[in-house]
C-alpha cells in the first residue's frame, strides 16, 4: 500500500483576508479557478488545465489555492482531482469568489 501524502488543506475559516486576496491576485490562478468553475466537481486533474506554465509552477499555484481555502484536492491513483470550495469560501469571504469568476 502506502499512498502518496495527502495534500494539506486549510479551511477558509482559518484563512487571513490578506492570504485570500494575494492568492486571487494572479492571472494564472484566476484562470484555473474559472476553468474549474466551468466543470463538474472532482472531474479536473491538475494537469488538465489549459495554462501557459510548466507543471512545477502549476503545482505551486495549486498549493497556493489550497492554502487559501478556495480549492480542495483529492488523490485518486496517480492523479489529483480538484473542486472549488464555493460554499465554505463564500461564507468566509462573501462575494469574493463570484467576483473572480464573473470576470471583467
Partner DNA sequence: CGAAGTGTATGACCGTGATCGAACACCTGG
Partner DNA sequence: CCAGGTGTTCGATCACGGTCATACACTTCG
Q: Is 57 in the site for DNA (CB under 7 A)?
A: yes
Give yes or no for a contact between 15 and 85, defined as CB atoms under 8 angstroms apart: no
Rounded CA gap, 70 and 96, in Å? 10
Q: Is 4 in the site for DNA (CB under 7 A)?
A: yes
Cell of 77: 491513483
Residues 65-84 that bind DNA (CB under 7 A): 73, 77-80
Give yes or no for a contact between 84 and 36, defined as CB atoms under 8 angstroms apart: yes
Tracing cell 470576470 back to the chain, one arrives at 103
Q: Is 96 in the site for its own copies (CB under 8 A)?
A: yes
The stretch near DNA (CB under 7 A) out of 9-17, 34-42, 43-51, 90-98 is 43-51
Among 10, 79, 91, 99, binds its own copies (CB under 8 A): 99
Amino acid at each position: 500500500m502506502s499512498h502518496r501524502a495527502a495534500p494539506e488543506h486549510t479551511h477558509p475559516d482559518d484563512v487571513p483576508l490578506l492570504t485570500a486576496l494575494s492568492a486571487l491576485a494572479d492571472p494564472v490562478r484566476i484562470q484555473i479557478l474559472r476553468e474549474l468553475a466551468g466543470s463538474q466537481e472532482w472531474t479536473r486533474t491538475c494537469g488538465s488545465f489549459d495554462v501557459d506554465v510548466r507543471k512545477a509552477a502549476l503545482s505551486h499555484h495549486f498549493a497556493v489555492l489550497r492554502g487559501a481555502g478556495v480549492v480542495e484536492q483529492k488523490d485518486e491513483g496517480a492523479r489529483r482531482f480538484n473542486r472549488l470550495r464555493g460554499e465554505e469560501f463564500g461564507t468566509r469571504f462573501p462575494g469574493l469568489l463570484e467576483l473572480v469568476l464573473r470576470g471583467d
